[in-house]
Structure 1
Amino acid sequence: MNWSDIGYNIRYAITPMRRHREYAQIMTDKTEDTTTEMRDARYVMHPLTDARANLQSGSLIIDRGEGIHVYDLAGNRYIEAMAGLWSVGLGFSEPRLIEAATRQMTRLPYYHAFTHKGHGPMVDLAEMLVTMAPVPMSKAFFTNSGSEANDTVIKMLWYRANALGQPQRKKIISRHRAYHGITVASGSLTGITANHTSFDLPLPGFLHLTTPHYRREARPGESEEDFATRLAQELEDMIQREGPETIAAFYGEPVMGAGGVIVPPATYWEKIQAVLARHDILLVADEVITGFGRTGRMFGCETYGIKPDIMVLSKQISSSYLPISAILLNEKVFEPIADQTHAIGTFGHGFTGGGHPVAAAVAIETIRIIRERDLVAHVAETGAWMQDRLASLADHPLVDEIRGVGLVAAVELSAAMLSPAVPLAAGALGKRAALHLQNGGVISRAMGDALALCPPMIIDRDGIDAIVAALRHALDRCLEELA
C-alpha cells in the first residue's frame, strides 16, 4: 500500500467519526433548547419579520384553535382578529372541513392536472367557481397561493399578448400600497416599499398609480367624487404617456388589504373602468382578501360594481385549511391563450400541487358552508355592527382615522394630537398598540401605524364587542405611556 492509499483510508475513516461528533453536538444543542419558543428563535426564519430581533425575542407559538379563538402553548386564549392572515373565514377546527379533507385523503390523496389529467374535486370546484362568479367567466386555473396565482396571471397576460401578435403589450398598471404577492413578478405588482427594498423590485414594466386613499391623498376642498375623477385622469394620462398599445392590464383589489384597508372613494371603480374600456385594457380583480363574503357580498366586485376580465381567488376559498388559489378567466382572455397553446403544443406552466384534490375538496365544502349558513348575510349584519362599534373609538386622542367595509377594517393611529407632540418613528405606535392588544387577548396586525381587523366571518356581536373593548384598553395603555 502506498502513502496515497494510506491517506485515503485515514481520511475516510476519520470523516464518519467527525460526522458523528457533529451530529452529537447538534443533538446536545437541541436538548438545551428546552422550549418550542427557544427552538423557534434558533431554527426558524420567519416571513415579514425582523430576523435579528426574532433571534432575541422569539415568537408567539400558537398551539391550537377553536372557533374565533387560538391558544398558545401556555394555554392563553386570544381572539384571532385577523383570521390568521385575512383568511380563516370559518374559524378554527370546523369539523366539516376536517371530515372533507379526511374523506378525500383516503380516496385520492394526490393527483395533478398536467397533460390531459385531472380529478373529480378539481372539476367540481372549477364548475362551482365559474358558475358563481359575479360576471361571466369561462375557465378556472388552479395554483397554491395568491402570489402564485398573480404570478401566473402576469404570465398569462404576456402569453396572450404574444398570441394576439401584440408583443409590445406587456406593461401592467397597479397602485401604490397595493398588495398582490411576494414572488418576483407578483411582488413587482405590489406597491409597498418594504416588499421592494433590497429585493431590486419592481421589475421594469410594472407601473404604479396614486393610492385611492381619500383622507391621505385628496387635495384641500376636494370631494370624494372629484378625487376619483382626478385618479381616473391620472390613469388616462399614464396610458397616453406609455402608449395604450403597450398596456396589458390594470390590476386592483376591490378594497386594498395589506396596504392599510383602503376603501375606494365614491365613483372610483366606475371611472377607472370607463378609462380601461376606452382603451380596451383588461381589468384584473384581486379578490384574495375580499372574496367569499368578506365585504358583505360574495365578492368585492359585487360590492363596488366591478366587472373584471380575470379574478384571483384564495385565502377564504378553503378557509386557509389547505393551500389553494384559483384564477377565473373570461372568454376574451382564454380564447387567444387556447389558440396559442394549440400552435405551440402546450401551455408551459403549472404547479405540482395546483388544484390538489384534498385542498379542492376542502374548498368545495367551505363554499357549501358559506352558502348553507348564509354567512354572506351574516357578515353584512355583523360587519355593520363592527364598523359602528369601531366608530365609537373616533374620539380617542390616538385615533386618526377608522375605515373599512363588512368584516374588514383598519384603525389608523397618530400621536400628533398629543401636547406636546411625542416624537415617534413611523410604525412605532402601531407596533406598541398591537402588542398591548395581544397582551389583552386579541391578535391584530400593525400595518405601519394602522391596526388591521379581519376576524373570522363566523364572529358574533359579543366577539366584536370584546375586540373593541380590548382595543380601547390597548389605546389607553399607549396613551398613558406616551403621556
Structure 2
Amino acid sequence: MTLTDTTASATAAPSGAVLDGPALWSAQAQMPAVLGRQLVIERAEGSYLFTTDGRRLFDGTAGLWHANVGHAHPELAQAAFDQMRTLETFHIFQRFANDRAIELAELLAGISPIPRSKVLLNSGGSDAIDLACKLARRHWQREGRTSKQIILSREHAYHGLHAYGTSIAGLDFNREGLGTESLVPETARVSHDDLAQVEAAIERIGAERIAAIVSEPIQGTGGVNPPAPGYLEGLQRLAREHDILLILDEVITGFGRTGEMFAAERYGIEPDMITFAKGVTSGYAPLGGVLAAPRLWEPFYVDAPDTPVFRHGATYAGHATAAAVAIANLGILERDGLVARAAELEHVLRRELEGLAARQEAVVDVRVAGFLGGIGLDERIANDRVADRAIEHGFITRPLRGNTLQLSPPFIVSDQEVVDYVAAIELAITEEAAR
C-alpha cells in the first residue's frame, strides 16, 4: 500500500475502524493521527532534509538532538566505508577486543570530565542508562551494602525506553499501561528544581536504601529545562553527603551541545558516571556508553583470583565501524572548532528567542542553555499545531512536554539560519494564534 493509499483509507474509514497502512510501526506515535501524514526523508545535506514528496526542510532539531556535524558528511561516510572494508566488527568479550574500540575508549577517557575514567561501550543512550543503573547496584552489592538498590530520578526526566529508562522516567506517560508503576520496582522520582524537596525525599526513603541519583544536566524531552541555579551543585552535595552515586545523563548534552565538550564541565560537576550517545557519532552509527569513575572500576581490576566480574556486554558493544565513525566525528568537532561554535550560536539563539518573547504574547517563556532552546507557549496555542505550520514553511521544530517547542540545530548552521528559523516559528505562532 502506498502512502497515498494510506491517506485515502485513513480518511475514508469510519470512526472506530482498524486502520491499515505501511508495515513500519512509528515510534512514540498515536498511529491514527500520523497515518497518511508521515514525512518520509530520503536524503539530507548539511542542515537540510529532503522528503520523498519534494520538500526541503531545515533540520532545527538535529534529528533527535544528534546531528551535530550535519547530515551526509563525506568524511564520516568514508570512515565507515574504510572500516567495513578492513573489519566490520569483532566483539570485545573476555580476551577479545578490536583496535577501533580500544582507540575510541582512549580518546573518550582523555576528554572525560571524570579523571581516570574507564569506558563501557554499547549501542545507544537507552543501553547506557540500563548499564549505568546496573553498575550502580552492582557496586553497592559488591561493597556489602545490599540495601542500596533504589535509583532516584527527577520529575520530567527522560532516560530512554529500555526497562530501566522506562522505570526512572519522570514523564508519567512513558511508564503507563505496563501493569505496574515501574518495571524495575526500586525507583523513585524527586523534584526537578527544589533541593529541599530532594533532601526530604532522601530522608523519607533512607539514604541506606538509595544506590544512585540520575539527572540530565539540562532536561531535554521533558521540556528543555536548564537546571535551576545551584540545583546540580546541590544534587552533587547531597549525593556525597549521603554516599549516593551521581549519574549524569549526557546523552543529549555530551560532545558540545552546551558549548563545552560535556555539560559537567559547564556546571562544574564531578559525577561518578556519565552516560553518552547521540553526539559521539553525530548519529552516523548507533553507539553509546558510560564513563565510570575509579571507585566503580578499580575493584573489578584487582589482581586476585576472587576479583568479581561485572556482567555487561552486548553483541555490538565496541562495534568497530561505529567506533571508527565516532573517532572521525570527534576529529571533525575538534578540527572545525564546532564546540566553540556551539557556544557562539548560544548567544545568537538567546538573542532571537528573547526578541520573540518580547514580541509575542503567545510565548510564555523561552529557555536557552548552550545551543539548545525551548519556547513555552500559552496553553491556548497547541505546540503540535505550531510545529506542523512551521513544517509548511520549511522548518522543523518538535513539540515537547509543557507545550514547549524544541530548537537544537546542528552546530554547522550560520547565524542567519538561526534568525530565519526563529522567524519561521514566529510566523507559525502568529498564524496559529489567529486561527
TM-score tier (shorter): over 0.9
**d(CA) in 2 for partners of 1:36 and 1:337?**
55
User: Superposition pairs for residues 376-415 of structure 1, below 5 Å?
Assistant: 376-395=339-358, 396-415=360-379
Show the counterpart of 1:43.
23
**TM-fit CA distance, 1:157:** 1.2
What are the superposed Cα offsets for residues 262-317 of structure 1, whole Å, 9 maximum, x if unpaired?
01121212222111111121111111000111011111111111111101110010
User: Superposition pairs for residues 14-413 of structure 1, below 5 Å?
Assistant: 30=1, 41-55=21-35, 57-199=36-178, 200-202=180-182, 203-212=184-193, 231-338=194-301, 343=306, 346-395=309-358, 396-413=360-377
Which residue identity is paired with 1:52? P
What are the superposed Cα offsets for residues 97-134 of structure 1, whole Å, 9 maximum, x if unpaired?
01110110100012111121111110010000011112
Which residue identity is paired with 1:347? F
Show the counterpart of 1:14.
none
Show the counterpart of 1:435.
388
**TM-fit CA distance, 1:341:** 11
- Alpha carbons of structure 1 residues 341 and 269: separation in structure 2 relative to 1, 3 Å: farther
Q: Which has the larger radius of gyration?
A: 1
Partner of residue 414 from structure 2, selected from 443, 446, 460: 460
- Alpha carbons of structure 1 residues 41 and 384: separation in structure 2 relative to 1, 3 Å: farther
Q: TM-score, normalised by structure 2?
A: 0.92
Structure with greater helix share of residues = 1
**d(CA) in 2 for partners of 1:249 and 1:101?**
37
Identity across aligned pairs (percent)? 33
Q: TM-score, normalised by structure 1?
A: 0.83
CA-based RMSD: 2.1
- Alpha carbons of structure 1 residues 237 and 384: separation in structure 2 relative to 1, 3 Å: same
Aligned residue for 2:357, secondary structure, equals coil
**d(CA) in 1 for partners of 2:187 and 2:386?**
35
- Alpha carbons of structure 1 residues 341 and 36: separation in structure 2 relative to 1, 3 Å: farther
Which residue identity is paired with 2:191? T
**d(CA) in 2 for partners of 1:342 and 1:388?**
60
- Alpha carbons of structure 1 residues 409 and 103: separation in structure 2 relative to 1, 3 Å: same
Aligned residue for 2:97, secondary structure, equals coil
What are the superposed Cα offsets for residues 22-47 of structure 1, whole Å, 9 maximum, x if unpaired?
xxxxxxxx5x7777989993211111
**d(CA) in 2 for partners of 1:121 and 1:260?**
36
Aligned residue for 1:321, secondary structure, equals coil
Which residue identity is paired with 1:297? E
Q: Which runs of 5+ in 2 are unaligned?
A: 10-19
Aligned residue for 2:259, secondary structure, equals coil
- Alpha carbons of structure 1 residues 348 and 70: separation in structure 2 relative to 1, 3 Å: same
- Alpha carbons of structure 1 residues 201 and 321: separation in structure 2 relative to 1, 3 Å: farther
